[in-house]
Every structure is written in structure tokens, then in C-alpha cells.
Structure 1
């Protein structure tokens, strides 16, 4: 596990110091795919570099399985840094795809047969098994980025850091880049940390996420735990919009917002509650999305029937998040 404890970091500027991080606390579970999201200048890259042991915090510490990395220096620090690979999107243009991936192994003095075997495994992971002899100039931007990920994974690091992994990659290729990061975690056992201005990336591949703004952690946790958290900014960004004019609610006994997670809940919970309690549910806002492979729905429902409270309590007992919509407030999105 990686723990970030009260980390602060500032950088000098012409006029005064610029604070990049303010008392940041985080916990990244081993083997997870963790997203750090937020707007530009939020401190995402600085936090990632502190976690990767490429920046020293001014205050606080980063621990790896309890080890205080602020006490490391010299060869011990270098050894710890080798366990954290950073995806560098710049490939060497004169080297083939296989040559780029093999470069870290060559610097380590790994023998030829082992290099070839490792490169073959990684070419398969990134879906480019037949492209080892091609040059980077012959690849699409998305393919180039996948090669950069494979190169970072060559030395089998414990932690892989991808800063804005889909930057400069078209929307049609972004999914393949994110899929490679997911495979790095699932098949190679790496803990993967992704930073991005786009919270949708977290929705597509991350288990856990932290929202950073102006150097501070606004909220963090597993994606599924944040869905029903009142006032969650990440939930507002990740879930379908439920905005509806207040006038649309006047014909119903009451209105509620409901978040349903999982195939069974999305497909059956509301119809079963309706039949069981003789209550009518009308969808007046919201929709369906996915968090990874998990279907998630957020609906604004008009509810009619004398047993509405009992029906809503029943679905809440079965894992639905039920809340009353608020008006006159503007939510802030990352």
C-alpha cells in the first residue's frame, strides 16, 4: 500500500512561492487502478511525482508498505525509484517498437533471450504482437502511447504512473490506451496511478479516485462508495445529469433521485418495488452509464402512491441511494 501523509509542496517563482500541494492525505491500495483527477493546475502531476519519488515534499511523507521514503537516500532511494515507472510518451524514432520496449532492459544488462521474451509478453499485452519491427513513425498516436506504456513496464515495476495517458490521442483510440493500463494491473500485477483532467477516465477504468483542486484533496474513495455520497462532486461529474425544471414535478406526489448499482438493481429493483407496494415510478430525468464493467443508473423519479415511503425504504435497504432533489443550488464539477 502507498500512503501519502500530510504532503505539502511549493515551488519558487519570480514573485513568491507557488503552493502545488497542501496537506494531502491519500491511500492507494496495492494492485489497484487509482485515478487522480481535477482541473489544470490542481497539483495532480506534482502529487504523482511525489508518489513516484521524483519530487521531495516540503513537508509530510510518502510511505510504501509502511516504509518512510523521506529517509531514503543514495542507492536505497534509487532502488525504490526503480520500482515506480513513469510512462514517457516520447519514443526513440530510430528504434523499432521492440527496440523501444527493450531499451530499459538493455540498460539493466538483461541478456538477449530474456529481453526478447519480455518484449514478446509486452507486445501481446498492448495488442501489437505483429508490430515489433515497425518504427514509431508508422504507428498511430494511440499505438505509440501503448508502446510507451509497454516500455515503462519492461522492468516489471511495482507501480506504474501514467500522467494524462490519453493526451494527444484521439477519442477513438483512447479506449485502447486505457485498456492497456487496465491489463497492466490485471495481468502484470502493477499498481497503476493515472492522472487526468478528464474525470471520465476514472469512470472507465479506475477502482479508486481522488479529486484534487488547488493542491488539496476535495474527496477520495472507491468510485462506488462516492456514488451515494451527498454533495459528491465526482458523482455529479460521473453520473448522468438529472436536471429537470421544478414545474415538471408538480403532477407527482413527490420526487426523488435514485442511484442504482449493478445489473440486478438497474434491471429489476424499481419494477419489483412498484409491484410490491402498488406505487408508480415515472422517470423524469437521468439515465444509464457504466463504471468499468458495472452498470449504474441515476434517475429522477416522480413517485405516486400511498405507500411511496415504504417502497423507497425497501429499495434503499437493497442498496439503492435515495435522496430528495434540491433546487436553487449550482453544483461544482471537476
Structure 2
């Protein structure tokens, strides 16, 4: 587990210190894929450097499996740093070496013998989907493939934590998807804890279990992604849930018009039809849509209900885990 306790970090400014992190607190469970989301200047990269033990906070503690890293120096600090693999958008590959040679370089520095080194490199190239590219040079790859080579290189020494600082920056959608798949496979197949910092909520939608939202160096929201979605007013829900755009006239055609958030295959596929049948009412979708959070389908809809048992149906739907809210009047729009 990674624990951040009251993490505060500042840098010199023109007239006064600039606070990059302000009393940041959250836990990252072992084996999770955790996203830290925020706009440019929110403190994401500073936080990443503190977790990677490249920066010391002014105040507060980074704990790795309970170890207070602030007390480390010298050889012990270097040993613990090796437990954190780092990938960022500034890919530093050696152009004269092949893809396989780049991935092998950290193992060569540790003196790992040839047969073991080749086996490890082969396994990692398979994990990032570049088995057929091992003999090529970085210049022969597209930017997304080079980023995946960087992921494999960061994994070469078997770290316990993989830190990816804005790993999809500057990539086309298809290239970014390949990098995110590599990170997800690293967590799933190697049992790593993966921390991803990004300005793109779409990264959280694709691969993250948990999220912290940074704003001006502060954590303004954090928790399990799916749990945060049940509150449509949360920042995570506003960023990830489908938009709802309807008019008062559309809602006025029904006895009741509400917004619902449905999470999971059973809820999305069956809950509303079952409610209509059970209570003998009509339920129509008048806005919203579906998305996926990882492999989990999530729906956010505005529904209209007609029939005497509409209120009972809504109570029944809410009892089964749907989040039901009554929208304000007039046109509604929430950014997806």
C-alpha cells in the first residue's frame, strides 16, 4: 500500500513560494490501478515525483507498505527507489539500440546474466504487445509504440509500483489505447500497483479502479470510481457520465421525470423493464446514454414514468442500487 499523509510541497516563486501540494492525503491499495486527475498546474507531476522519491516534500510523509520514506537516505533510499518503475511522456530511449536492447539495459546494469535477461525481455515485449518489434530501433516505431517500450523498460527490474506520469500525452487515440492496455496488463499479470497521473478523465474511464481529483494542489475528491458515480454531483460523475440534454416540454409529458444512474450488467439491462412490468407502468428513456468504466457498463438516463404506481416503482428502483434524482426544470446538460 502507498499512503500519502499531509503531503505539502512548495517551490520558490518570484515574490513568494508556490505551493504545488497542500496537505494531500489518500491511500493507494496494493494491486490497484489508481488515477490522479487534474488540470495543468494542479500538482499531479509534483505528486508523482514525491511518490517516486525524486522529490522530498516540505511536510508530510510518503509511506510504501508502512515504511516512512522520509527517513531514508544513501544506499537504502536507492534500494527503495528501485521498487518504483517510472514512465512519463518524455520517453528516453537509446536510438542506437534495438527495442529489445533498450528494455534489457536496466538488467545489464544490474548484471543479470544473458539467458535470464533475454527471457525477461521477451516476456515484457509480449506484455506490451511488441514481440515482433524487438529487433527494430526506436525511430522505426510510432510514438505510442515507443511509449510502450518505455513501459516495458520500466518493468524490467520487477518493481512493486509502476508510476505513469501523463502516459498518453501527445498520442493519437489508438496509440493511447495501446499504452493504457499495457498498463492494465502490467497490473493484472504482474500484480503491480499502478499510479497514473493524467489531465484526461478518459484514462480513468478506461482503466482506473480508484481516483483522486487534484485542484490547485489539493485533493477535492477521491475514492472508488464506481462508488463516486452514484452521486451525479461528484466531479468524477460529471466528467465520466453521459450527458443529459432534455427540455421541460419533454419531461412534462410524463407523471414523473427523474434521472437515474445504473451500474453493472444486471442494472443496465433489466432493472427498468422489470420495474415497468412489476408496477404496471410505462417507463421511457428521454435523455442520457451508456458508457463503460473499465469492463463495467454504466448508464445515466432521464426517464419518464406514467401510471399510478410511478412513485412505488421509483422507490423499488432505488432500493436495488440505482441512484435516483429529480432534475431541476428546464433544459439540462452535463459535460461528459
Q: TM-score, normalised by structure 1?
A: 0.96
Does the 8 A contact of 1:233 with 1:332 survive in 2?
no
- 4+ runs deviating over 4 angstroms: 327-334
Shift of the alpha carbon at 1:229?
2.1
- For 2:330 and 2:165, how far apart are their aligned partners in 1? 37
Q: In the alignment, is the contact (CA less than 8 A) between 1:233 and 1:333 conserved in 2?
A: no
Q: Name 1:282's counterpart in structure 2.
A: 284
Q: Residue 135 of structure 2 is aligned with which of 133, 136, 142?
A: 133
C-alpha contact (below 8 Å) 1:166/1:174 kept by paired residues: yes
Q: In the alignment, is residue 56 of structure 1 matched against residue 56 of structure 2? A: yes
The superposition leaves residues 97-151 of structure 1 with CA deviations (integer Å, 9 ceiling, x where unpaired) of 0010001111111111111110010011011112111000111111111001000
Q: Which runs of 5+ in 1 are unaligned?
A: none
Are the counterparts in 1 of residues 245 and 331 from structure 2 also a CA contact under 8 Å?
no
Give the paired residue count. 334
**Secondary structure of 1:14 counterpart:** coil
Kept in 1, the 8 Å contact 2:208–2:225? The answer is yes
Shift of 1:306: 1.5
SS at match of 2:131: coil
* Unaligned segments of structure 2, at least 5 residues: none
- Given that 1:236 and 1:331 are in contact with CA atoms closer than 8 Å, whether structure 2 keeps it comes out as no
Report the equivalent of 2:165.
163
Distance 1:262 1:51, change over 3 A: same
TM normalised by structure 2 equals 0.96
C-alpha distance in 2 between matches for 1:171 and 1:78: 36
CA shift for structure 1 position 273: 0.2
Whole-angstrom CA distance in 2 between matches of 1:251 and 1:200: 35
Measure the CA separation in 2 of the matches of 1:59 and 1:214. 17
Q: Does 2:40 align with 1:36?
A: no
For the 8 Å contact 1:101–1:119, the answer to whether it is kept is: yes
